[in-house]
Amino acid sequence: MLVQKEQKILVLVGPTASGKSALGVQLGRKFNGEVISADSRQVYRGLDIGTGKITKRETKGVPHHLLDIASPRRKFTAGDFVSKGRQAIDMIYHINKLPILVGGTGFYIDALVGRIGLPDVSPNTKLRSRLQKKSTEQLFALLEKKDPKRAKLMSTPSERNNKVRLIRALEIIMSVGSVRSTEVQPRYDVLWIGLRPPLDTLDKKIRTRLGARIRSGMVQEARRMRKQGLSLRRMRELGLEYRSLADLLERKVTKKEFEEKLYRDIRRYSRKQIGYWKRNKDIEWFDPKQARKIEATIRAWLRK
- Spans of all domains in the chain: 1-117+183-209+277-304, 120-181, 210-264
> Averaged over 205-227, what is the pLDDT?
97
pLDDT reported for residue 177: 63
For residue 169, pLDDT over 90 is answered with no
Homologous superfamily of 1-117+183-209+277-304: P-loop containing nucleotide triphosphate hydrolases (3.40.50.300)
φ, ψ for residue 288, nearest 5 deg: -55, -20
For residue 218, pLDDT over 90 is answered with yes
For residue 181, pLDDT over 70 is answered with no
- The CA distance from 175 to 98, in Å, is 38
- The CA distance from 290 to 18, in Å, is 13
> Averaged over 143-148, what is the pLDDT?
86
Note the pTM of the prediction, 2 decimals.
0.82
∠ CA 124-125-126, nearest 5°, is 95
- The CA distance from 139 to 260, in Å, is 27
In degrees to the nearest 10, what's the CA dihedral of 58, 206, 112, 191?
80
For residue 210, pLDDT over 90 is answered with yes
For residue 119, pLDDT over 60 is answered with yes
Candidate from 166-170, 193-197, 247-251 with smallest mean pLDDT: 166-170
Tell me what percent of the residues of the chain surpass a pLDDT of 70.
93
Q: 49: closest CA among 179, 212, 193, 174? A: 212
For residue 238, pLDDT over 80 is answered with yes
- The CA distance from 264 to 276, in Å, is 19
Query: What percentage of the chain's residues is helix, strand, coil (to nearest 5)?
Result: 55, 10, 35
Tell me what percent of the residues of the chain surpass a pLDDT of 90.
69
pLDDT reported for residue 94: 94
The number of angstroms, rounded, from the C-alpha of 286 to the middle of its chain's C-alpha atoms is: 20
- Residue 10 near residue 98 (C-beta atoms within 8 A): yes
Paired with 223 in beta bridges are none
Residue range 120-181 forms a domain whose CATH class is mainly alpha
pLDDT reported for residue 171: 83
Confidence bin at 133 (pLDDT 50/70/90): confident
- The CA distance from 64 to 36, in Å, is 6
67: how many CB neighbours lie within 10 A of its CB?
Answer: 19
Mean of the per-residue pLDDT values of the chain: 90
Candidate from 70-74, 176-180, 265-269 with smallest mean pLDDT: 176-180
pLDDT reported for residue 16: 95
- The CA distance from 289 to 276, in Å, is 23
- Residue 103 near residue 109 (C-beta atoms within 8 A): yes
Confidence bin at 178 (pLDDT 50/70/90): low
Distances (CA, A) of 275 to 36, 109, 293: 23, 15, 24
φ, ψ for residue 103, nearest 5 deg: 165, 180
Size of the chain, expressed as the number of residues it contains:
304
- Residue 179 near residue 110 (C-beta atoms within 8 A): no
For residue 120, pLDDT over 70 is answered with no
